[in-house]
Chains A and B, each alone.
Chain A
Amino acid sequence: MGTFPRHRLAAVALAAAGALLVSSGCSSDDAGDGKITLTVDVFGQFGYEQLYQEYMDANPGVKIVERGTGGNLDEYSPKLTQWLAAGKGAGDVVAIEEGLMVEYKANPDNFVNLLDHGAAELKGNFLEWKWNQGLTADGQKLIGLGTDVGGMAMCYRTDLFAKAGLPTDREEVSKLWPTWEGYIAVGEKFKAANTGASFLDAATNTFNTIVLQTAGNAQGYHYYDTGDNLVVESNPAVKQAWDITMNIINAGLSGKYGSWSEEWVSAFKQSKFATIACPAWMTGVIEGNAGPEAKGKWDIARVPGDGGNWGGSHLAVPRQSKHQEEAIKLVKFLTSAQGHIGAFKAKGPLPSSPQALDDPAITDATNAYFSEAPVGKIFGAGAKTLKPVYMGPKNQAVRTEVENAVRTVELGQRNPDQGWQDAIANAKKAAAK
């Protein structure tokens, strides 16, 4: 493994990267034609392309470039953290996912305090808990304005359901699984029909869906209580979700396609599973992964259990941005009711603005890819009464450990009891790091 040339290469690459940084630093100041370039860093699908165009048409002096579209949150967040730590490299507007918000809020000086820029009057434009998520603990600093919330549903393949002799109509399918026990019963029927596909993609995503439900419906927190104490072991909501997930695994319903892996994407393409827990933003991911061939084969039913919220993001302006004023203006535009509606129409993320949620553009919206499912009604219905789940300081790391324990059981490397012990021990370790 000739590291000698690699070493030298690395030096050259570093030098080149340095040069690039310098040159891109210059080019971001103006686009050469007197325009200001605003860079927006996102992950997944935010659905802003059309909105950028509108904004650029209304503001001829601004050019908007989006980076990271379609990317994985796991890859995006370390990059963002590095940019913030280095004081250079972050976009003028950055997306922050709710699970990571707590960590970024712990060091609010990395971001512009939007309260200093007239954001206070926008409070009524957001669901209250969404607004509060962007606010520091002392309530003095607002680092992000809300984009979407992750109202939950269950997406399923009508063609595979038909093959298994199950109903395909979304109303009837919804009636099959008022609870997760009902969902497992349907899964067992599906499995018995031997369609060549699994019932669900991976137990990890399903676990996260369930735990956000059980926690939201109970005391409103899962891994950390509101005093920031780690309660993985003692919180009945976590254990309940764990046990339901174990039942799903024991019934042999999972296809074990590790979420967001290459295999997961292939499994979408090859129609290898019939259902997937889908927060509103997942619809865009499904469409992207399953591709145009699967158009009209997917549909959306209500989620088993009750309600729940998974994900959703904020937009923030890093203090290192050279165009803070313009960036703040853009953030306000993208997080306005109009911005929420535009994003929803493009890629499906559910608005966190009550005004947008009431807008006919949302309530009457259907999604052609999902067999014309009335996505506005399905996702929007529970959005205003969503019970959010509190996320503590090392939420992401702890969640990773617990989901990973689910994965080891799913793959047969651990039995459920060992898995649960691993989850507790590793969560403690992660929280202490």
Chain B
Amino acid sequence: MALQLDARPPATPASGRSRPARTGRLSRIDAKYSPYLYIAPFFVVFAIFGAWPLAYTFWVSLHDWDLLGSNPTFIGTDNYTRLLADGDFWHSVVNTLGIFVISTAPQLLLALWLANLLNRQLRFRTGWRMTVLIPNVTSTAAVAIVFGVLFGREFGMVNWLLDLIGLDGIEWKSDRFASWVAISAMVDWRWTGYNALIFLAAMQAIPRDMYEAAAIDGANRARQFWSVTVPLLKPTIIFCVIISTIGGLQLFTEPRLFHSGTNAIRGGPLRESQTLTMYMFENAFAPYYNFGYGSAVAWLLFALIAIVAAINVLIIRRLGAGARPRVGQRKGAAR
């Protein structure tokens, strides 16, 4: 885009001289404004489906707004003050963060390891690469329902296997930590392969000669991985972490469908695995229909994601900054 724009100005005065002034003005206007027109579709769609709902949700969150009621009353920040003192809200924040940590950390490490394996000379390499993506193309709802059944208390396969090796069955749905683990397993099953492919793509962009240089320096495979691959994957890792953060904190379908029956939106009798988005739904829709309160939850979720993403970036920057000079030093020493 930028290149094209740079190339254009010399053409405009030339055409201005040979054609009537009006055309010149038109083409100047064209040159000046049409780029905006070209990028407009994204922004128009974003304004309709992104910015407007965001603003409207904020407006709703300032009201006592019954979903069916005809005249909401403006109550300022009341919903927010009530929410900050709401134990169930903080409980769902802890659940969300807990599930996020339990699922994301092993997921990204596993993805990195998988990508590293797939990056080697393997037989049926394309086949393997396609296989890791299969969980990702299955429907989330189907996955959640199947996992919900697998982790059943009495009829579930997981408890059956535990029973076979002589262990007691686990209350997967009404034990807080157990339900986090079960939901994390579901999330990881689905997204590890996807992240592995992104890592793989980035790995292939790393020049071979860097590995050769490292090998000449006497670095073994593990050393090459940690000192060459990982530092050079830094931007990709940041991308994956941020994307995982957003997805992890917005987790809804998996925990919602993991539970079934009456009042599944609670995520267990004592809200064992109720995530923030589920709490938002419970308040905005059934059984409370308190649209204003639900909208306030949505905005605090937004704030939470922003904070966690910022922390993520800081941590990863630190790590990356620590790793990079070491590579440089190594190289320098070799020369």
Contact = CB atoms under 8 A, between A and B. Distances in A.
B288 A430 contact: yes
A433 B290 contact: yes
B270 interface: yes
A413 B283 CA distance: 24
Nearest to A86: B67
Interface string A237-270: 0000000000000000000111111111011001
A204 B155 contact: no
Contacts of B270: 408, 413
Given A107-B68, A109-B70, A270-B155, A2 B191 contact: yes
B224 interface: no
Interface hub of A81, A109, A258, A404 (most chain B Cβ within 10 A): A258
Contacts of A74: 262-264, 286
A82 B262 contact: no
Nearest to A408: B269
Interface in B187-202: 187, 190-191, 194-195, 198
Interface string A367-405: 000000000000000000000000000101100100110
Contacts of A258: 260-262
Contact of A103 (B68, B154, B155, B243): B68
Interface residues of B, number: 49
A266 B191 CA distance: 30
B33 interface: no
Nearest to B86: A429
Given A1-B248, A104-B68, A433-B288, A11 B152 contact: no
B247 A397 contact: no
A397 B243 contact: no
Main secondary structure of the interface of A (DSSP, over half): helix
Contacts of B243: 1-4
A396 B260 contact: no
The range of chain A's interface size is 35 or more
A110 B260 contact: no
B194 A85 contact: no
A77 interface: yes
10 contacts: A1-B247, A3-B246, A4-B243, A14-B49, A85-B291, A256-B153, A259-B262, A400-B287, A413-B269, A433-B290
Given A1-B190, A103-B289, A394-B288, 4 more contacts: A266-B155, A404-B263, A413-B269, A433-B283
